[in-house]
Structure 1
Amino acid sequence: MDAFGHVNNAVFVRYLEEARIDFMRRLAPGGGSPSFTGGSVVARHEIDYVRPLVHRPAPVTVELWVTKISAASMTVGYEVKDEDTLYLRASTVVVPYNFTEERPRRLTAEEKAILKEYLDDASHQTSQPKGTVAV
């Protein structure tokens, strides 16, 4: 919380991180596929704080979806809200990263195909998100 009893902006970034990590782990296919099992790094965050979120026991939901897929990155869109109120809209550019070689890598064809199932590049207000996490 900040001095006014609101959830601190850094906490919102943690909410986004937890939701994104959960999302990526759920994408990893079974059967020994290497897709989504390597590392990734955040290249950019963009956050619009819509309303202050006062600390309370009730959880909020982080909804997320993919807004862009390129050769070597993906962009994830988010909304943090409860049933009645939108608190935050955000996006994150995520780059697959090979930590052994210490450099970015390209998305594989399999990763792109999986991500396309969650692609929603239209205005999110008129569409349904593909993943949710309560925090």
Structure 2
Amino acid sequence: MTARPEPAAAVPLPDVPEAARIYPVPVRWSDMDAYAHVNNVQYLRFFEEARVLAFKDWFGAERDLIDEGMLVVSQAIDYLLPMGYAYAPARVAVWCSDVGAASFELGYAVGGPVGDDTVYARGRVTLVAYDLADQRPRRLGAPERDALAAVAGPPPLLRGDRRRGRA
């Protein structure tokens, strides 16, 4: 059995809410593209890896929201700078930026390894709690809302937000 990485919460990233949790995510050699930087599609994997760790951290090891049913319904990413390969893991900050009746939004910032405070990408992912047996969304319960409130912060500002008047 592989031990899961512990959050590196003591090493913040710039412009990330204080309540965010930061998780180490390995950058694999195969994540690189022909231009010698992390391929854009790999950032979705970084989000996913950090989200899996965050759910165990936020909701408890005895509860698995992924097995209970949680679907990604939208994603948005701003690629800020090209990230090269490093032997140390990237740091991915995750926080809750909005909560609805059955859905919630997570904010993300992908930073370099400890010692590199560069933020290479920012993003948002909206998820919906889903009843797998009934094949339909379900309402978030009070324990889920409380856990999300503990890691709440403002949404990351993305380029498209300025055009839509969100900024």
- Whether the TM-score (by the shorter chain) exceeds 0.5 is yes
Q: Secondary structure at the match of 2:93?
A: strand
Aligned equivalent of 1:27, options 51, 58, 65: 58
TM-score, normalised with respect to structure 1: 0.81
Runs of 4+ in structure 1 off by over 2 angstroms are 27-30, 34-37
- What is the aligned partner in structure 2 of residue 68 from structure 1? 98
Q: Whole-Å Cα distance in 1 between the matches of residues 42 and 141 of structure 2? A: 32
* 1:1-135 equivalences in 2 (<5 Å): 1-29=32-60, 36=65, 38-82=68-112, 83-121=116-154
Farther-moved stretch of structure 1 (19-28 vs 41-50): 19-28
1:21 positional shift:
1.1
Q: Secondary structure at the match of 1:41?
A: strand
Structure 2 residue identity aligned to 1:58: A
Gaps of 5+ in 1: 125-135
Cα distance change on mapping 1:93 and 1:7 into 2, 3 Å: same
Alignment check: 8 A CA contact 1:35 1:108 kept: no
Alignment check: 8 A CA contact 1:65 1:76 kept: yes
Q: Secondary structure at the match of 1:120?
A: coil
1:35 positional shift:
7.8
Superposition RMSD on alpha carbons, in Å? Answer: 2.1
TM-score, normalised with respect to structure 2: 0.66
Alignment check: 8 A CA contact 2:92 2:109 kept: yes
Higher strand share: 1
Alignment check: 8 A CA contact 1:35 1:111 kept: no
Gaps of 5+ in 2: 1-31, 158-167
Alignment check: 8 A CA contact 2:69 2:129 kept: yes
Structure 1 residue identity aligned to 2:95: W
Q: Secondary structure at the match of 2:122?
A: strand
1:38 positional shift:
1.2
